[in-house]
Structure 1
């Protein structure tokens, strides 16, 4: 049986135009490593603007086109509000926290 490969990303502070390129390069590294799951834990992201959201959408497309899955967890109140206002909660698989994600997806971190 093949082992499930999981990459965990934990951005800190804010996800906006100032660090979008760094986030993209981390996503590309996860894709290059042939991760089956890319988990983006946003617990420490207190602010996300439209460019940060766009970066996440681009990451979702890139990860899906590689045959992997992108999962998001631990949204702050501000980020959750942004996801709700833009209907991103319908596009992304969003989990309350890491434990919730692990239990529902059946993957180990």
Structure 2
């Protein structure tokens, strides 16, 4: 069985505007039938509250479509934000794409 894994690489600041773009992208990804989405946050240096809301919306969209959303390559600042807001308990976070591939692609 071939896994339909989509990797989205985000960069810069994830705010309300970028968050809305992310929601649209994830909506299209769900419509295309993808079951696993990896958000690579390697290039993200800041996420504001609306950006966090967009990440949660993205996860809900994937869950509603019986899919899964994962996050990788989180900077120290974003990790701190995730911990403060308890998002680190909601998202499964991988060190990088390689760790994700080792743990998820090989187990599916």
Give the shorter-chain TM-score range. over 0.9
Aligned to 1:18: 17
RMSD of Structure 2 on Structure 1 (CA): 1.0
Structure with bigger strand share is: 2
- The aligned length equals 106
1:30-60 deviation per Cα after TM superposition (whole angstroms, max 9, x unaligned)? 1011111011000000010111001000110
Aligned to 1:97: 96
- Poorly superposed stretches of 4+, deviation over 2 Å: none
How far apart in 2 are the matches of 1:86 and 1:51?
13
Aligned to 2:33: 34
How far apart in 2 are the matches of 1:6 and 1:36?
7
Classify the secondary structure of the residue corresponding to 1:38.
Answer: strand
1:31-90 deviation per Cα after TM superposition (whole angstroms, max 9, x unaligned)? 011111011000000010111001000110110010110010000111101001111111
Which moves more between the two structures, 43-52 or 18-27? Answer: 18-27
Unaligned runs of 5+ in 2: none
CA deviation after TM superposition for structure 1 residue 95, in Å: 0.6
Classify the secondary structure of the residue corresponding to 2:16.
Answer: coil
How far apart in 2 are the matches of 1:3 and 1:96?
24
Unaligned runs of 5+ in 1: none
TM-score norm. by structure 2 comes to 0.93
Aligned to 2:49: 50
How far apart in 1 are the matches of 2:28 and 2:10?
15
